[in-house]
Chains A and B, each alone.
Chain A
Amino acid sequence: MECFIGIDLGSTTTKAVVMDDKGQVLGRGITNSRSNYDTAARVSKLEAFIDARLSLIRRELDKEPALAGRVDDVLEGLTRNFRREQFIEQLGDLEQTCISNVDGPRFAGMEKPIIEALTETFRRLRDDEADKLFAPDAQRKSDFFRDIAGSRFMQIGEEVARGGGVSFDHLLHMYDKSIIEVENRPPSGDMNRKFVSAMERVRDEIAGELLDTAALEAPIKVALDVDMKERYVVGTGYGRVRLPFPKEHIRSEILCHGLGAHLMYPATRTVLDIGGQDTKGIQIDEKGIVVNFQMNDRCAAGTGRYLGYVADEMNMGLHELGPLAMKASKTIRINSTCTVFAGAELRDRLALGDKREDILAGLHRAIMLRAMSIISRSGGITDQFTFTGGVAKNEAAVKELRQLVKENYGDVQINIDPDSIYTGALGASEFARRAVMEA
């Protein structure tokens, strides 16, 4: 099966989409951009391929009558156990890296006990912790290896160090020295092997409930046997010049967002994208071709960072802002379009005794007013209007936007897709597909 990949290297996150030759999206992947675009591109692509493999598995499982009503459970188990396999593989990598780092005059004469302590720590992590972390109902705070491995390593490492007469500082030093290396080395092992192991564990988990294990294994094997070939990759986003492929494979994110929005909602004529560092107003035609665009320039007021700054000022999480603003009984007027000045107004308003939710409602309105000004510059809003980017997930921002659109442009259909963060990557994958299919 030929696969077409779009990668959107954003300032905050890197997204990838895998598409088949018919234009169907098979998988999506996302990771932190971590100031290392090469790794971010590889990791997001790998994640998208894992997601794509799961899509193929779902297609096959759906055909199996014996699994009717159980497909979601099976996929959940498969995903979870796949992550467990990945975790164990990365743990092995981390162990090897830590041990190879026990070197140099600082550790002269102590190598043996340190290596023994490391080996014991990793044995416990692997044998005792992996099962607990990936049990069916276990809650994991993060899916990033660093977070999962780190918290457990600290606790177990300290216990082992105490028992073995080794300074925990040495173990910690090895960990800190090795984790970045490992993190920037995406798991490269055989994906199918991990899926097979995961499948075996799922089978064991649900043994007894399912009479015919072949009904589970056969479709998964069919899906795993599909050879997903990486045919063409198109990169976009601010990090696009860092992508390790030729210029022809790079598209501006404006075009990718326009096309991505068109694919999600073919009747779209105006697109607003509010990302971490820029706000884009894009006009597209009936084919998804960009006819005009405007962006914020010289000033990042009214972008996603604005809300990040406000969240910091209020000592809140970014995702808590929207829900609190929704509780407002009135909207406090915030005049500053400058992020920093808006912070000053915020403190001033708090000092005057205004309610946090009312001020927040005002700040959300301010960011949307700024977006409206950029849209006007690009040519206004024409039905249908699609809103994308991280800020599209913020309900208070969406509420203000709806109101402003209605006040200024009347009844316009507003589209917001829950997967809108992938809009740019989606457009890029379609450009990749067209580059081959329409060449």
Chain B
Amino acid sequence: MNTKVDTEVIKEPSMLKQKDMIAGNYDRLTSTRESGEKIVSTFVPGNLNELIMCFDMVNNLPETNAIQNGLRKQSGAMIMDAEKSGHSEDVCTYVKADIGMMGRGNIAPNGKPMPAPDMLLLSYTGCFTFMKWFELLRHEYKCPTVMLQIPYQGDGKITKNMRDFVVKQLKEEVIPMFEQVSGVKFDIDRLREYLKNSAKAEDDLVWVLESGKNKPSPIDAYFGGVYYIGPIFTAFRGTEDAVEYYGLLRKEVEERLAAGKGPITPEGDLQGEKYRLVVEGPPNWTSFREFWKLFYDEGAVVVASSYTKVGGLYDQGFRHDPNDPLGTLADYCLGCYTNNNLPQRVELLEKYINDYQADGLLINSIKSCNSFSAGQLLMMREIEKRTGKPAAFIETDLVDPRYFSHANVKNRLESYFQMIDQKRSGASLAAA
């Protein structure tokens, strides 16, 4: 095998920066009782971080808490707790991990208890479970709750009506509720400043994501990608910190590219890119390292993924626009990957396979995600038909460790990689 990874682990400046940022936000969240700051809970797709900052509130994202607990192997027990309290085995495991976390005193990754949120902001961007989840949280916390209804792109486009509807809700419901809870008056110029920062960071993020078009790719746009999207998808879009982070990251990737290096893996630089994949669906978090290893051990690099677009499709041209602050927030929410219809998702994945010269499509279908797993087999067949490239389908879960079967996933991935080999050598392997 020509694929080899160096074993020395080097933390790059961007990694250290991100670590500090995340730790800082958790510290801010867990010390609001002392600082007097107010917490708003919201979701990654449709996350209105710039707006939240306008009211000096701290952003808490239950999904990322579930991911943190998954990565730290805490989620399994939390999910079982939630099941004991009556939530079915088939319910989204992010929800159950969150409910289980509350039952255990809502301890944040820094070991301190997370205070109850002061407000719930539900940006409804295509996942119906979010609505039920916040219904449960509202019942638990009995705090002010506002729902921003984002019309689904059922016809694959954003109309003026849809946009106006979102802007109207921002003006008439969301902003007034923020003012009421925070006691801070809305200042649109402050929003403009944050949006300027967002656009700057977005430019650099897009540059990084598109570096996957190079051969070999200097990044893994899935296993590495989930780290790259961290700041912009969470509590940092619009901050100076995010601008700095993406500047650092871009510089690092530029250097990797110039040096002809492959992506960073937990075991060092990947050398000898063998397969270029486009991946649809989130990764498995509870066995994240093992899952990743199944790829880099075989020299498989993910050059583009749809999961890194759930919090905004920046690579397709969208940028936060300081000249139209509320309109741009509406466009952002309407355009999230989660709010796209099936034909749009097919088109995007097809485009990625072509633009990134990928060998094929891999779908990691999430067992407990009814919203996005529906239709994935159809998408796969359509993309196979359009691109002529082989596709494969694996199934795991987000944060439920019971649904990651290493032997099964390994078997399928190996079969898939060998299928790609076979396709490549095509005629020469033909039967006599």
The answer to the question of B418 belonging to the interface, with a C-beta cut-off of 8 Å to chain A, is: yes
Minimum C-beta distance from B55 to chain A (A): 45
Which of B116-124, B157-165, B205-213, B405-413 interfaces with chain A? B405-413
Choose from A252, A262, A377 the contact partner of B415 (Cβ within 8 Å).
A252
- Contact mask for chain A residues 281-325; partner B; CB cutoff 8 A; 1 contact, 0 none: 000000111111111011000000000000000000000000000
Determine whether the beta carbon of B429 is less than 8 Å from that of A438: yes
Determine whether the beta carbon of B415 is less than 8 Å from that of A294: no
Choose from B394, B411, B429 the contact partner of A287 (Cβ within 8 Å).
B429
Count of chain B residues near A, Cβ 8 A: 30
Determine whether the beta carbon of A438 is less than 8 Å from that of B428: yes
| CA gap between A255 and B431 in the complex, in Å | 13
| CA gap between A177 and B422 in the complex, in Å | 48
Choose from A251, A262, A379 the contact partner of B431 (Cβ within 8 Å).
A262
CB-defined contacts of B429 to chain A, threshold 8 Å? 287, 289, 434, 438
Contact flag A290-B415 (CB < 8 Å), given A298-B405, A438-B428: yes
The answer to the question of A164 belonging to the interface, with a C-beta cut-off of 8 Å to chain B, is: no
CB-defined contacts of A292 to chain B, threshold 8 Å? 384, 390-391
The answer to the question of B393 belonging to the interface, with a C-beta cut-off of 8 Å to chain A, is: yes
CB-defined contacts of A107 to chain B, threshold 8 Å? none
Contact flag A293-B405 (CB < 8 Å), given A23-B432, A266-B431, A434-B429: no
Main secondary structure of the interface of B (DSSP, over half): helix
CB-defined contacts of A248 to chain B, threshold 8 Å? 1
Interface hits, B51-94 → A, CB 8 Å: none
| CA gap between A298 and B402 in the complex, in Å | 9
Contact flag A297-B395 (CB < 8 Å), given A263-B431, A289-B429, A379-B381: yes
| CA gap between A297 and B284 in the complex, in Å | 15
- Contact mask for chain B residues 15-38; partner A; CB cutoff 8 A; 1 contact, 0 none: 000000000000000000000000
The answer to the question of A7 belonging to the interface, with a C-beta cut-off of 8 Å to chain B, is: no
CB-defined contacts of B259 to chain A, threshold 8 Å? none
| CA gap between A287 and B429 in the complex, in Å | 8
Determine whether the beta carbon of B419 is less than 8 Å from that of A255: yes
Determine whether the beta carbon of A238 is less than 8 Å from that of B407: yes
CB-defined contacts of B173 to chain A, threshold 8 Å? none
Choose from A23, A288, A294 the contact partner of B393 (Cβ within 8 Å).
A294
Minimum C-beta distance from B375 to chain A (A): 13
The answer to the question of B377 belonging to the interface, with a C-beta cut-off of 8 Å to chain A, is: yes
Interface residues, chain B, with chain A CB atoms under 8 Å away: 1, 367, 377, 381, 384, 390-395, 403, 405, 407-408, 411-412, 414-415, 418-419, 422-423, 426-432
Q: List 15 A-B contacts (CB under 8 A).
A: A238-B407, A253-B411, A255-B415, A262-B431, A287-B427, A287-B429, A290-B422, A291-B390, A291-B419, A292-B390, A292-B391, A293-B415, A295-B412, A298-B408, A430-B431
Interface residues, chain A, with chain B CB atoms under 8 Å away: 23, 238, 247-248, 251-255, 259, 262-263, 266, 287-295, 297-298, 377, 379, 430, 434, 438
A sample of 8 more A-B contacts (CB under 8 A), given A289-B426, A297-B408, A298-B395, is A247-B1, A248-B1, A254-B415, A255-B422, A292-B391, A293-B415, A298-B367, A377-B377
